[in-house]
Amino acid sequence: MDFSKNDTALVITDPQNDFLSPDGVTWGLVGASVEENNTVEHIGQLFQAAQDKGYDVFISPHYYFPTDRGWQFGGTVEKMMHDINMFDRKGALTTDGFDGSGADWLEQYKQYINNGNTIVASPHKVYGPESNDLGLQLRKRGKSKVILAGMSANLCVEAHLRELLELGFEVAVVSDATAAAIHPELGDGYAAAMTNMGFLAGAVANTADTVSQMN
């Protein structure tokens, strides 16, 4: 894929403490993969490259509000997220208690996200962007290509990849700027995602190669 700041966006899913901080509620499952891929540093490098090269950055965050506790069913990981209070916020119209919480951005990313230029989409609720306004925000800014990274590889990142492809975007995945759970029964989510992304994405490349292609 060829990248240009005019038609290409950097999209980061869930750059939040509950996934990427050792204090996050999922660290016991994702920490080994995050550390092996050096995911935190690589996402930071993508943010810096986008800033230096003038690329628009979009965040697709994951939040749960108290009203989401009224859901009557869910899949395996959905149930787990609710059980461990993952990405919980006190309400849709308040940031009370947000700063430093599991739902907050990783501290070193705040300079890139809270800069007045980064587009933060409405929250997605399960895995993909069907429930938020990411596609609309990308189209309204004339983007047809996406550099995709974030957490977690086989859930939100892969779900975003699939939906963005269905919406007609060309998508490249950054292989070492993501990670996933390694579960004793469910398996290695990162390995599963890399297999699927190789079949689906327009390109799968590491951070260094991706940054070098950002013209």
The SS3 of residue 178 is coil
17-58 tens-digit pLDDT = 999 999 999 999 999 999 999 999 999 999 999 999 999 999
CATH number, domain at 55? 3.40.50.850
18 domain-assigned: yes
Please state, in angstroms and rounded to a whole number, the distance separating the CA atoms of residues 145 and 166: 13
Is residue 25 in a domain? Answer: yes
User: Tokens in use for 113?
Assistant: 């996200």
In this prediction, residue 211 has a pLDDT band, given cuts at 50, 70 and 90, of very high
Q: Is 36 part of any domain?
A: yes
Report yes or no on 163 lying in a domain: yes
Put residue 57 in one of left, alpha, beta given phi > 0 → left and psi -120 to 50 → alpha.
Answer: beta
Our count of domains for the chain comes to: 1
Encode pLDDT of 145-164 as tens digits: 999 999 999 999 999 999 99
| C-alpha to C-alpha distance for 66 and 70, rounded to whole angstroms | 8
DSSP reduced 3-state for 78:
helix
- Give the range of the structural domain holding residue 79, as residue numbers without chain letter: 8-213
End-to-end CA distance of the chain: 12
Nearest Cα to Cα of residue 46 among 201, 172, 197, 189: 172
Whether 168 is covered by a domain: the verdict is yes
